[in-house]
Structure 1
Amino acid sequence: MSTLRAFESVVRLQSIKWAAVELHVTPGAISQQVKALEADLGVQLIARRGNQLVLTEAALRGRDYLTGGLRLLQRGVERMRLRPPLRRMRLTVEPAFAANWLIKRLPQYRTLPGAQDVLLDPAKALVDIARGEADLGIRFGHGRYPGLESINLFEDEIFPVCSPGYLQLNPLGDLKDLKHHHLLRLDWKATRPWPDWTEWLQAAGLIDESDLADLERRGTVMGDSSLLLRAAQEGQGIGLGQASLVADLIKDGKLVAPCAPRLRTGFGYYLVFPHGADARPEIKLFKDWIVAEAKTG
């Protein structure tokens, strides 16, 4: 079983490193387990092409069955485990998402029969959900979370937003005028590649190479989405808003989107929880509610 688990994790995550993280062992141990499985079966399962792992035909034949079988085992164990019903669920969530989307909708969840009290943990630091530090989480990223199931809630897009008052005082007659407005900027590049005004203007075809140096020096830089959106609401400039975070603000008339082009960021918000945890009624209830809520905006 240990060799099968190691191989399945490598195949699913496409990485020996991430498989080691998921199974809480060293990469060397994962490699040895895969080699042991290959020796037992008498076939090669994984080859390398440069820095990439490549699955052989034999590996591809068994991959889906193995993943499905291990998931069924995990769900079976979860159903047998004796767990007292939760009196409250701990939900770890990125602060900007909590403030701009989730808080407004939680009262609707609490009206559902069987809904639990929610302990909301709005933290940027990741907690280990797989080891029980939280029951569920909403994470911002690419959807790869070792040891956890992930369900995409929103694919993220960015586009310019500002307050109605700012736009009245600073009319936007042409998209090229954006280069001359006070830009509110989000600086997440220390932790992840994030498209900024430079990338948005380039994608919209509104900037050339001669403008780049000046653009990089202009505007107010902030390290938090909620701060940027607050500054935009107060008329301090025009910022790039994330679609999921500004939808309610636009609906309430606190922000406007003065121009149409949108840029996909490659990131999204994901609901995450341990494999099989949604067999528990209280977890399934919250999962079903938030997935449905995300679909309606």
Structure 2
Amino acid sequence: MKFDKNLAAVHGYLCADGYVVRNPSTQKHKYYHIGLRNTNGTLLRDFQGRFKAAFGLSPIIGHGRCKISNKSIYHFLAKEYSYCSYEWRLPQPSKENLRHWLRAFFDCEGWVENQPAKSRLVGADCCNESGIFSVQKALRRFGVHSEIKKRTNRMIWRLTVCGKDDLQRFQEYIGFLHPKKKQKLEEAMSSYADYSWSIPETKDGLLAFVSSKGRTRQSRHEIHLYSIRKDNLAALKKALNKLRLHSRLFGPWKNSTGSLYYCLTIKQKEVMNGQEHRETKGHNAGD
């Protein structure tokens, strides 16, 4: 049987959230089960359609599964490929068919994080070390770079795709069929649209800008402003200097997912003094 896009997707689904099992040899009752476990109906229906296109039989959907029992298909799948959580191996399909395998795998195992100005990523956790590194290698064929880190005190490896260019290539070549993951990735990419800050020119506007965007660090009596763009914070620092408000620019720093960001710190007292001066000036003008 040709390893086409449908079989590639079926295999990706089975490696991620599926099973290909038979009865123990000591058991009299014989069974040969193949199925996908997932709570998302879109993925179950896609698995059903792909399976039918590949094998000519349609699995049944019900109770969070899409399943079928068939001896000959079981033997074909079990003989040619592996699916166990710790042992599955990514086949060597064409680049076009590899897209379908990766999409099915990430639809099941992947997730999207979207924290604008701090962290945007596509991630996947896996207990199969060689398997997740083969996924990383496969992503490189599409120009998508990623990082893999072992979870502390756990036999789990986490793959993350970060950065606008790599996320854009992931979205273009792999993407998601899962509706919520697809939407979240679209939202993450849309948030990249324009991240340049418009720095107010007046003192009142600048202090209000700092108050609205800053996060107060009470333990250090500081206000912190974060951005993935250094030029935003550099422009803000320059504007603050003109008002004789001291600030310090740090970074780049790398968060736990590998994304780079910068931080500008301002002493809370300086901002408060500036606001008090503004209010006093306003009262005097009223008098």
The reply to whether TM is greater than 0.5 is no
Provide the TM-score with structure 1 as the length reference. Answer: 0.23
Between the two structures, name the one with larger relative contact order (CA 8 Å, sep ≥ 6).
1
Q: Which of the two has higher C-alpha Rg?
A: 2
Provide the TM-score with structure 2 as the length reference. Answer: 0.24
